[in-house]
């Protein structure tokens, strides 16, 4: 299984890494990090730089294409790049799975891949999916034909494990889950916006980075 994970300036650090970690544990997977130009990409907070090994335009066909989310500026740049959109659409023609983490779904949408399909994304970006003809589900992970999307940031780990099960079977995927010791018990219980009070959501929107 040949897997490409896209990086861009402003990417959220956990988005590509959260989905990468479970998939990288499977035998017989090859994972390639790519960016639009092949140059390193800083995360949205500016503290971390991730180095791809290729430019997306030079990439040969892959079995799986994964698009993470990121900062507003980074997303706008990606969605506004005709070359990037066409590169994603070109690779999508031959993928078995095309997937996104968090607001990466907006890049898929801008590339014309989610029209008429159900999809999920970060709760703060849900209204934008409709602009690309997608139906927001609010689920942690949504599958629509070969297109898989996840909710915000940490849901990328769930997506990675779900994809492990899809391509390698539940038994091996369950072993990956155990190897990662993935048994989250969030200390505050407000990771779902439906469980979070309005004042907590206000802090997210007005105070926090990302």
CB–CB of 132/84 below 8 Å? no
Among 41, 78, 102, 164, the one annotated catalytic: 102
DSSP string for residues in 69-126: -B-HHHHHHHHT-HHHHHHHHHHHTT-SEEEE-TTHHHHHHHTT-STTSEE---GGGH
Place of tokens 């390193």: 40
119-130 per-residue burial string, b: 16 or more CB within 10 A, e: under 16: bbbbbebbebbe
Distances (CA, A) of 47 to 8, 12, 98: 14, 11, 28
Q: In residues, how long is the chain?
A: 210
- Both tokens of 36, joined, read 């639009």
- Return d(Cα 161, Cα 146) in angstroms, integer: 16
CB–CB of 164/170 below 8 Å? no
- Both tokens of 131, joined, read 């602009």
102 is catalytic: yes
Give the residue numbers marked as catalytic.
102
């Amino acid at each position: 299984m040949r897997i490409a994970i896209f990086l861009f300036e402003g990417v959220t650090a956990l988005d590509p890494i959260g989905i990468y970690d479970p998939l990288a544990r499977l035998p017989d997977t090859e994972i390639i990090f790519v960016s639009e130009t092949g140059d390193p990409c800083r995360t949205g907070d500016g503290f971390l730089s991730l180095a791809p090994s290729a430019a997306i335009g030079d990439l040969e066909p892959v079995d799986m294409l994964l698009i993470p989310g990121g900062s507003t500026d980074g997303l706008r740049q990606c969605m506004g790049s005709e070359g990037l959109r066409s590169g994603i659409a070109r690779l999508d023609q031959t993928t078995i799975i095309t997937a996104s983490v968090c607001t990466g779904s907006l890049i898929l949408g801008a590339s014309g891949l989610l029209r008429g399909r159900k999809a999920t994304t970060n709760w703060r970006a849900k209204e934008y999916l409709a602009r690309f003809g997608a139906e927001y589900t609010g689920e942690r992970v949504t599958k629509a034909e070969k297109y898989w999307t996840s909710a915000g940031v940490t849901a990328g780990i769930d997506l990675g494990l779900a994809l492990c099960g899809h391509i390698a079977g539940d038994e091996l995927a369950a072993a990956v889950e155990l190897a990662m010791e993935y048994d989250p018990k969030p200390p505050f219980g407000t990771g779902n916006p439906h469980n979070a009070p309005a004042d907590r959501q206000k802090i997210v929107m007005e105070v926090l980075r990302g």
